[in-house]
Structure 1
Amino acid sequence: MEATVVLFAVSLVVGLVVGVLAGLLGVGGGMLLVPAFKLGYAMDSLMCTATSLFTIIPTSVSGAISHVRNKTCLPKLGVAAGVGGACLSPVGVWLATLSPDWCVMGAAALIIGYSAITMFRKALKAPKTRKAAAGAASAATTAAERAAAIERAHREAPAIGWREVAIGFAIGLGAGLASGYVGVGGGFIMVPLMMSILRVPMKLTSGTSLIAVMILAVPGVVTQALLGNINWVAGIAVACGSIPGAALGAKLIPKVPERQLRFLFAGFLVVAAALLVVNQLGLWG
């Protein structure tokens, strides 16, 4: 009984951390959830990815709602990417049950590593934020300044027409395939591509990505549930922490400078790639 309580408490903490990262960076958190389920609950690989995919849905819903309220997203682009991802998410699940995972895991690690390098370069090129003068001017950013930062991000973002919707749909296709196969939300693919191809500011990509993740994960979760691969108890335990965490992470977006956001996302990608390699080499569990 005591061990069960401890495991549930740890699950809440893990969920909270994953949720904050999801809301702040626009990722589902699967790259952390998969190893957490492997280590904490001793699940097999397929159940880890299935349970991770399930947990991603309430996490992304919570973060997406906060982003929409805070106007830190582009809903039309997010829906387009989500629909594209939903088309291939079940295919990813199907491939996971049939093919050896070393090939896709290795490819995913390479993609994530490349995305990390790209994001680091963008972070280095981003202008440094000037520190305010001493006294009251050096205090925390005011609500008016945060609102101005979001307004600037919307001005810098492209108008979302049919071309952008089509590109978003195509980006979602790749993210959906990875989501179903590896048990991740796909944000590690969508966020860098939205920034590189569509020139969407980081302050808006996180929320946009979460809207897509919220949609694209659903078919994969339904498929995994029908196959009986989800550990509902573990998934719900972690979701109890990730739901408030995602809302908190979304609220932090206006307070974190664009340059720091890019560095943070790049660092997350490096950790994600390392976890994939460690998982593939069988160094845990």
Structure 2
Amino acid sequence: MLLHVLPALVVGAGLGFFGGLFGIGGGIIAVPLFVIGYGMAQPMAQGTALVLMVPNLLVGWWRYNQRHPVPARQALTIGVISMAATWGVAHFANALNPAVLKVVFSVFLLGVALRMLARRKDAAESRPKIDPRYLPLVGVAGGSSMGLLGVGGGLVATPLITGLFGQKQTVAQSLSLALVAPSSVVALAVYAGAGQVDWKIGLPMAASGLLTVSAGVSLAHRLPEKQMRTAFAAMLLLTALWLLVSPLVMARLR
């Protein structure tokens, strides 16, 4: 039991730190880890990742909101929209073939990473392309991603908020957490109801991740914004390639 819990505690601490650093819940790393390292099916991996993501996202939201407060009305609107989208799409995701869901997950990460790496203009110099009144509609895209993939609400919302609404990276991450944090709770409820959660692995990771989220958030506000965006995109790209290539590697090893 100890040998089973200790690795989960170490991994959870690392995921909590990176989740705080990039304004996400750590699921984009946890899901492929569960699929490849623990041999979980894609829906189970996504559901288990949500166990550690929920507390990480809630703490990250609180810490980011201290530095970049989101107006209560705006946070409520974007949160309600994202939760509604998450609820509907999560039920659809649990009915999909796991292999199809895995490919969708991989392609999604690859697309987001390439889009971010292709951006040459610094976010601080960008100008809003869409009226800020429509910002809550980002909750539809972010919430749908949370429901379908169990992750990705912040990965979708953050680039949209920086690229279309002209917000700085750290401000965008604070806004995206306002929609992702409540959506993650809804997604976890749906996946748990479908029996797609391994609590014995998820809970230890969630506990240790809570200890390191604040350190990641603090570092995020000390790093240069351009390097932050590049590091964020590089992490997504490597994760996507890992997921796409790993089945071929594992087949050869067998």
Normalised to the residue count of structure 1, the TM-score between the two structures is 0.76
Alignment partner of 1:248 out of 171, 194, 215: 215
Structure 1 residue 192 corresponds to structure 2 residue 188: no
State the structure with bigger RCO (CA 8 A, min sep 6), 1 or 2.
Answer: 1
1:99-145 CA deviation, whole Å, 9 max, x = no partner? Answer: 234555444434432322232233x4339xxxxxxxxxxxxxxxxxx
Of the candidates 118, 126, 133, which is equivalent to residue 121 of structure 1?
118
Deviates more, 1:264-273 or 1:194-203: 264-273
Q: Which residue of the partner structure matches residue 72 of structure 1?
A: 68
Give the secondary structure class of the aligned counterpart of 1:255.
coil
Corresponding residue number in structure 2 for 1:166: 134
CA distance in 2, matches of 1:228, 1:103: 19
% same residue: 25
Report the RMSD for the aligned CA atoms in angstroms: 3.0
Distance 1:26 1:12 in 2: 20
CA distance in structure 2 between the partners assigned to 1:97 and 1:59 by the alignment: 23
1:228 is matched with which residue: 168, 188, 195? Answer: 195
Distance 2:127 2:2 in 1: 46
**Alpha-carbon spacing, 1:105–1:92, altered in 2? closer, same or farther (3 Å):** farther
Q: Output the amino acid matched with 1:232.
A: W
Contact 1:51 1:235 in 2 (8 A): yes
Q: Does 1:47 align with 2:44?
A: yes
1: CA distance between counterparts of 2:110 and 2:37?
26
Structure 2 residue 113 is the aligned partner of structure 1 residue 112: no
Q: Secondary structure at the match of 2:197?
A: coil
The residue type paired with residue 126 of structure 1 is D
Deviation track 1:148-194 (CA, whole Å, cap 9, x = no partner) reads xxxxx7xx997xxxx5353333x221222221222214211111111
1:36 corresponds, among 33, 46, 62, to: 33
Give distance in 2, aligned partners of 1:166 and 1:273. Answer: 30
Q: Report deviation, 1:242.
A: 1.5
| Alignment check: 8 A CA contact 2:16 2:56 kept | yes
8 Å CA contact 1:175–1:187 kept in 2: the answer is: yes
Q: Which amino acid letter does the alignment assign opposite residue 246 of structure 1?
A: V
Q: Does structure 2 conserve the Cα–Cα contact (< 8 Å) formed by 1:23 and 1:64?
A: no
Aligned mates of 2:211, 2:50 — CA distance in 1:
18
Which range moves more in the overlay, 198-207 or 32-41?
Answer: 32-41
Distance 1:220 1:251, change over 3 A: same
What does 1:1-285 correspond to in 2, within 5 Å?
4-69=1-66, 71-72=67-68, 74-75=70-71, 77-122=74-119, 124-126=120-122, 163-169=131-137, 171-278=138-245, 283=250
TM-score (norm 2): 0.84
- Confirm or deny: 8 A CA contact 1:37 1:48 kept in the other structure: yes
Please say if residues 80 and 165 of structure 1, whose CA atoms lie closer than 8 Å, have aligned partners that are also in contact: no
Q: Give unpaired runs (5+ residues) of structure 1.
A: 128-152
CA–CA distance in 2 between the matches of 1:75 and 1:21? 26
Change (3 A) 1:60 1:280: farther
Q: Which amino acid aligns with 1:10?
A: P
Structure 1, 105-114 or 189-198: larger mean CA deviation: 105-114
Change (3 A) 1:183 1:266: same
Structure 1's 233 and 64: CA in aligned 2 closer, same or farther, altered over 3 A?
same
CA shift digits 1:189-221 (9 cap, x unpaired): 111111111111002122222222111112221
Gaps of 5+ in 2: none
Q: Distance in 2 between matches of 1:111 and 1:228?
A: 25
Whether the aligned pair in 2 keeps the contact of 1:62 and 1:244 (CA below 8 Å) is: no
Name the stretch that deviates more: 96-105 or 51-60.
Answer: 96-105
Residues 41/103 of structure 1: CA separation in 2 closer, same or farther (3 Å cut)? closer
Q: Distance in 2 between matches of 1:226 and 1:16?
A: 27
- Which amino acid letter does the alignment assign opposite residue 153 of structure 2? G
Structure-2 change in CA distance of 1:112 and 1:16 (3 Å): same
